[in-house]
Amino acid sequence: MANGGETTFADAFESELGTSVPEAAKDVTEEVGTAIAERPSSAVIVPPDGGNDVLTDDDDDLLLPRLKIAQKSSTFENLEDEDWNMGDLVLEGETVIPKSKLPIEFVVVAIDDHFMENVDFESEDVARRAKTVAQVREMAEPGATIDIFGDWLKVANLTLLVKQPEGVDDPSMFPFEVGGARWGLFNFLAARSGYRPVRSMIRTTERFTFRGDRQGGTYRLSTAKKKNAKNEWAVPVVKPGSVGISDDLKALLADFAAGE
């Protein structure tokens, strides 16, 4: 707990490591982009005044291609419905990595942890965002909750350096050639039922396997199907890849950090 007894993002996160989604949350529609009407009993209540704890990372938004998981309700401007299936990965709405080609390999470049207002996907309202619990308190209604199914969501916007998988040939998406392989930078948003599988695994692996070095190795991203009585959807599955990366890849990441 932070000074003054305030519940921080880190406090809430630590209490969830290794836990599953509570039973109370399993009957809600979890598909990314839909409104959540119920919340689990473990939701964190927005605390009273006191403290101003900032989330773990603060990285500026980058105009990078988006990496998304195709859901049943997804629409992609440059793709026909028969071009993709639920659980495929779609790059910038136009390049499909079929589930059969997964997992893909990636290195974490940056993570922006923040809070986002839970609004209906079809609503014209723009979801408000906050970096601190204090900022949420200023904007939220009294008694609002912060949770993966709460009034405010814990989300992670990740910048990933992704290795071009076999069977995919798109130099525009993977412009960096390193060690005989091509790599590309992408933004990936982990939220709702996709939050814990991504953020918990990355944080745990970084801390213990990579010994605190965010870029101390690679991860592998695939997808899996989940369902309840009302719906089915695809969720991300992240697992540790290799420990350590090549010097050439380290040099490329150093160039990114230096803004070169």
Name the 3-class secondary structure at 81. helix
- Quick check: 67 and 24 in contact, CB under 8 A? no
Q: Is this model's pTM higher than 0.85 or not? A: no
Read out DSSP for 12-67? HHHTTTTPPPPGGGTTS--STTS------TTPEEPP-S----B-S---------BE
- What Å distances lie between residue 207 and 35, 83, 101, 107, CA to CA? 33, 39, 29, 15
pLDDT 10s digits, 172-203: 999 999 989 999 999 999 988 888 889 999 99
State the Cα–Cα distance between residues 85 and 131, nearest whole angstrom. Answer: 34
Read out DSSP for 205-216? IIIIISTT-TTS
Q: Kindly tell me the sign of the dihedral angle through the C-alpha atoms of 75, 60, 204, 17.
A: negative
Q: What is the pLDDT along the chain (260 residues), one digit of tens a residue?
A: 444 444 444 444 343 333 333 333 333 333 333 333 333 434 444 544 443 344 334 445 558 999 999 998 888 988 988 899 999 999 999 999 999 999 999 999 999 999 999 887 666 778 888 998 889 989 988 888 887 778 998 899 999 999 999 989 999 999 999 989 999 999 999 988 888 889 999 999 999 999 999 999 999 999 999 988 888 999 999 999 999 999 999 999 999 887 76
Look at the block and give the residue holding tokens 């979801």.
127
